[in-house]
Chains A and B, each alone.
Chain A
Amino acid sequence: MKKLLFIFVSVLLLSSWMLVPADQSEEANAKIKAIYIYNFTKYIEWPGTYKEGNFVVGVLGTSVPLVNELNKMAGSKTVGTQKFEIKTVATAAECAKCHIVYILSDNSKQLPDVIGKVKGKSPLIVTDKSGLATKGSGINFFIDGNKQKIELNRTNIEKYKLKVASTLVEMSVQIK
């Protein structure tokens, strides 16, 4: 009896602990951000000169899960006839060629540099740190009650000759 019980317990020990991949939560978080970013492309209109070639999303900073998720999105979605191009950018100067510039929270200090480099261009500047919508970013991600939300500064968007749909404004926390 004891010998048989031992066999049984061994089987159970092998099978009873499930494992969580380390980056699963980061992937889910990145997915939410990617859905938001795709929504931005539906509710914001870029000038005519930006409607040719690839639709470039530049990520300033390092986030493997986010870039992976944006690349997945790029594989299945387009902006009108434009294909997505996801770029990891290292310097503010590279942001000038982007339709959307997403400055990751660790790189928030580069916001003034980015603003300086994109003068006369039409990027949507997206940030990820509290208070940045008042400091030049068009859309800023923030947390409210565990939930990922966005705050939107219409002035900061429109000064780059972008048109923002009222639907997006209504679904955001407005910053003036």
Chain B
Amino acid sequence: MSKIKGTIILGFLLLIAVFSNAQQSRVTAAYAFLQQSKLDSAKANIDAAVVHPETQTDGQAWYIRGFVYKTIYNQNEKGNKQSSARIEALVSFKKSVSIDPSEENTQENIKNIKYLATTLYNDAAASLDTIDYKIAIKNFDLFREYYLLVDPSKENFKQKEIDFSNAMGSVYTRIYDGDRKVRQEFLVLAKASYNKVLAIDPNNISANYNMGILYYNQAVHLINQSDYDLDIVALNDVQDNSINLFKSSLPFMEKAYSLDPNRRETLLGLSGIYFSLNEKEKSNEFKQKLEQIGNK
């Protein structure tokens, strides 16, 4: 009886070993197909391997999967800014790092993550326009996630966050300028983008200047859109509101000026704000500085 029992257990163990080897051989097969550029077969094998309990925690399997999808991205989806293969590759390399912390494995995975993250960054930049800006945001968010995985120092990422938020502020402003009546939310988004930059770096000249210009343009637009029929009481209200906006603009423009006193745009902006606040002497002061710079 005990002999039979032993045979059953042995058989069971053998079955497990065979099945396990079958999963390992799927990983090996995927690698072989990859080398032969048979990407569909490589993908089918490696996708099956990483969901099976025997190999789902195998760092090597996830690494191979990352490589398969990276190759699919490079060969078939390089021009696609929303490539799903690139995302699958990144997810796989990330999983491989988390499972197998050995130095050799980690270095390889990180190298690949860096490469793919860089393509996300580049695609985010290439999408910074009024049409594809949502793709830019999505790609930059992914870039941020994977960049911080390989370089967790947030300090190193600050400048990239500033550059991207400044650029997004500019994109939102262009969308808002296209139709100010119906695209009010983009003005809010533009201000939020510049505020994000200023929260990271209060001395960022570009964000200070652009924030100043946003308020300034908003004030000017408020006046210019008024009809000539407006009665004097309503005109007073328009003036009150525009004055508040000009005053909101001032500290940002003053800050930008203090950071770079010779920048033409800032001098022009300050001259305009003070003119609009009916402080003509101050306006002329900045106009003169502008002329002095022009003469140099």
Please list the residues of chain A having a beta carbon within 8 angstroms of any beta carbon in chain B.
1, 4-5, 7-9, 11-12, 15-20, 22, 24-29, 31-32, 34-36, 38-39, 73, 76-77, 143, 145-148, 150, 168, 171
Sample of 10 further A-B pairs with CB below 8 A, known A12-B164, A25-B276, A148-B278: A1-B118, A8-B121, A8-B124, A15-B128, A16-B210, A18-B170, A24-B272, A31-B224, A146-B279, A150-B232
Q: Please, which residue of chain A has its CB at the minimum distance from the CB of B231?
A: A39
With a cutoff of 8 Å between Cβ atoms, the chain B residues found around residue A147 in the complex are 236, 239-240, 243, 278
Minimum distance in angstroms from B228 CB to a CB of chain A: 4
A76, B228: Cβ atoms closer than 8 Å: yes
Minimum distance in angstroms from B142 CB to a CB of chain A: 15
With a cutoff of 8 Å between Cβ atoms, the chain A residues found around residue B233 in the complex are 171
Q: Please, which residue of chain B has its CB at the minimum distance from the CB of A18?
A: B213
Q: Does B167 contact A (CB under 8 A)?
A: yes
Count of interface residues, chain B, beta-carbon cutoff 8 Å: 53
Q: Please, which residue of chain B has its CB at the minimum distance from the CB of A2?
A: B118
Q: How many A-B residue pairs lie within 8 Å, measured between CB atoms?
A: 117
**What's the Cα separation between A31 and B239 when bound, in Å?**
11
**What's the Cα separation between A5 and B159 when bound, in Å?**
11
Select the residue from B166, B223, B265, B271 with max chain A CB neighbours within 10 A.
B223
Q: Can you identify 26 A-B contacts, CB atoms within 8 angstroms?
A: A1-B114, A5-B121, A11-B128, A12-B164, A15-B128, A15-B170, A15-B171, A16-B166, A16-B167, A16-B170, A17-B209, A20-B217, A20-B272, A24-B272, A25-B276, A27-B224, A32-B239, A34-B228, A35-B226, A35-B228, A76-B228, A145-B243, A146-B243, A147-B278, A148-B278, A171-B233
**What's the Cα separation between A77 and B229 when bound, in Å?**
9
Q: Please, which residue of chain A has its CB at the minimum distance from the CB of B230?
A: A35
Which residues in chain B, 213-261, are within 8 Å of chain A measured between CB atoms?
213, 216-217, 219-220, 223-224, 226, 228-233, 235-236, 239-240, 242-243, 246
Q: Is the interface of B mostly helix, strand, loop or mixed?
A: helix
With a cutoff of 8 Å between Cβ atoms, the chain A residues found around residue B279 in the complex are 146
Q: Please, which residue of chain A has its CB at the minimum distance from the CB of B197?
A: A16
Q: Please, which residue of chain A has its CB at the minimum distance from the CB of B280?
A: A143
Q: Does B173 contact A (CB under 8 A)?
A: yes
Q: Is the interface of A mostly helix, strand, loop or mixed?
A: helix
B278, A146: Cβ atoms closer than 8 Å: yes
Q: Does B99 contact A (CB under 8 A)?
A: no
Q: Does B135 contact A (CB under 8 A)?
A: no
Q: Does B275 contact A (CB under 8 A)?
A: yes
With a cutoff of 8 Å between Cβ atoms, the chain A residues found around residue B242 in the complex are 28
Q: Among the listed B173, B232, B239, B271, which residue makes an inter-chain contact with A171, where contact means beta carbons less than 8 Å apart? A: B232
Minimum distance in angstroms from A108 CB to a CB of chain B: 14
Q: Please, which residue of chain B has its CB at the minimum distance from the CB of A24?
A: B220
**What's the Cα separation between A15 and B163 when bound, in Å?**
11
Minimum distance in angstroms from B203 CB to a CB of chain A: 15
A16, B206: Cβ atoms closer than 8 Å: yes
Minimum distance in angstroms from A172 CB to a CB of chain B: 8
Q: Please, which residue of chain B has its CB at the minimum distance from the CB of A19?
A: B265
In the complex with contacts A20-B268, A32-B235, A146-B277, A8-B163 CB distance below 8 A: yes
